[in-house]
Amino acid sequence: MLHERARQLAGESAFDVLRRAQELEAAGQEIIHLEIGQPDFPTPDHVKEAAVQALADGHTGYGPSQGLPELRAAIAEKAGALRGLEFSPDQVVVAPGAKALLFYTINALAGPGDEVIYPDPGFPAYQSVIAHSGARAVPLPLREETGFRFDTDEFRALVSDRTRLVILNSPQNPTGGVLELEDLEAVAAAAAEHDITILSDEIYLHFCYDSPFETIASVENADGRTIIVDGFSKTYSMTGWRLGFAILPPALVETFDLYNVNIASCACTFSQHAAVEALRGPQDSVLAMVSEFRQRRDFLVDALNGIRGISCAPPGGAFYAFANITGTGMSSDDLATKLLVEAGVAVLSGASFGSSGEGYIRLSYATSMEKLGAAIARLEGLLGKTR
């Protein structure tokens, strides 16, 4: 009954594991959740208050499909300042989540006969949506030895006359890796040479612990061919508000707007009013969260390195530890299942992020120190300690 295209869609292990963990909880087991990628901090009060005010003011109807003008202006200003670039509000399209914009980008730019290069391991929606578009998904392996960056020679070898789009994500989900300038330059040069568009998924830009954030959009040759995707989910703990945005080369704006018109009409209007406050109001909650995440990262990485069979390099960004588990002798899937069922710790198998993720598990540290400490004690109990 289904079209072949629809058969290509794949799920996301974070939601699968969450469901399994909740079933175990319903059966009485106490689970520590390190599987889901959302900050444990609440949405800041001033943002919630702005949403309540927007509801009281009657902002409950459809809005302009491209996004509220005042939100697009705030995004252009703030996103430009963060990246040291100038954006026009006309380049901004607001949508119900960054995920929607990933879908628009891949479908607007690639189809049967085309190739799209994407990071492996990587956010599962990339591979799934590329396959759905009919294009060929070309995985670009990320390597632990280089802090989960890619090898630039390997990248160049994957580029062909059919490459239409290259997807970058830095800081990265699931590895926490951060790309360096030479990586961005290699992609920008190849993109200019082969007329390739770049999709830069920058949703974790605030979560950079060791070096300042750098966008490929500011690299020579990438200007004019880069689509920046970002959103409110992670930075402002607004995952449920469903709000993301893209900053686009002007020629693509109308098409992205049409995707909105055909799929969602517009992003939630009162969420957009609250998002203006998120961008223009005080930023101390973002700074406090990032500082807390840095401490958790340091604790978790150190503790993981004391567990038998596990080693973990410090991730430079995002809020995930991607731990090497080859020393346990188990596959990623088997270990993730064992940790959930026998220790009550929900983590994700690295293999669920692509074949280069085999040999790893992803642990989200977007949870309290207390819970991280308890999770480590359970892992030590199951696998043993080395110190």
Reduce the secondary structure of the chain to three states and give it as a string.
Answer: CCCHHHHCCCCCHHHHHHHHHHHHHHCCCCCEECCCCCCCCCCCHHHHHHHHHHHHCCCCCCCCCCCCHHHHHHHHHHHHHHHCCCCCHHHEEEECCHHHHHHHHHHHHCCCCCEEEEEECCCHHHHHHHHHHCCEEEEEECEHHHCCECCHHHHHHHCCCCEEEEEEECCCCCCCCCCCHHHHHHHHHHHHHHCCEEEEECCCCCCECCCCCCCHHHCCCCCCCEEEEEECCCCCCCHHHCCEEEECCHHHHHHHHHHHHHHCCCCCHHHHHHHHHHHHCCCHHHHHHHHHHHHHHHHHHHHHCCECCCECCCCCECCEEEEECHHHCCCHHHHHHHHHHHHCEECEEHHHHCHHHCCEEEEECCCCHHHHHHHHHHHHHHHCECC
Of 328 and 352, CB closest to ligand PLP:
352
The nearest distance, CB 35 to ligand PLP, in angstroms, is: 12
First to last CA, the chain: 57
User: Which residue's CB comes closest to ligand PLP?
Assistant: 97
The nearest distance, CB 233 to ligand PLP, in angstroms, is: 3
The nearest distance, CB 231 to ligand PLP, in angstroms, is: 3
Of 87 and 123, CB closest to ligand PLP:
123
The nearest distance, CB 185 to ligand PLP, in angstroms, is: 22
Of 174 and 359, CB closest to ligand PLP:
174
Of 328 and 349, CB closest to ligand PLP:
349
Q: Are 142 and 29 in contact (CB under 8 A)?
A: no
Helical pair 45-56 and 269-280, crossing angle rounded to 10 deg: 140
Of 37 and 67, CB closest to ligand PLP:
37
Tokens of 58: 């009657």
Of 177 and 359, CB closest to ligand PLP:
177
Of 241 and 270, CB closest to ligand PLP:
241
The nearest distance, CB 318 to ligand PLP, in angstroms, is: 8
The nearest distance, CB 191 to ligand PLP, in angstroms, is: 20
Contacting positions for ligand PLP (CB under 6 A)? 37, 97-99, 123, 169, 173, 201, 203, 231, 233, 239, 244
Of 141 and 327, CB closest to ligand PLP:
141
Of 318 and 339, CB closest to ligand PLP:
318
The nearest distance, CB 122 to ligand PLP, in angstroms, is: 8
Of 166 and 376, CB closest to ligand PLP:
166
The nearest distance, CB 2 to ligand PLP, in angstroms, is: 25
User: What are the beta bridge partners of residue 33?
Assistant: 346
The candidate with the shortest Cα–Cα distance to 72, out of 90, 46, 84, 60, is: 90
The nearest distance, CB 362 to ligand PLP, in angstroms, is: 11
The nearest distance, CB 167 to ligand PLP, in angstroms, is: 10
Asked whether the bond before 39 is cis by omega within 30 degrees of 0, the reply is: no
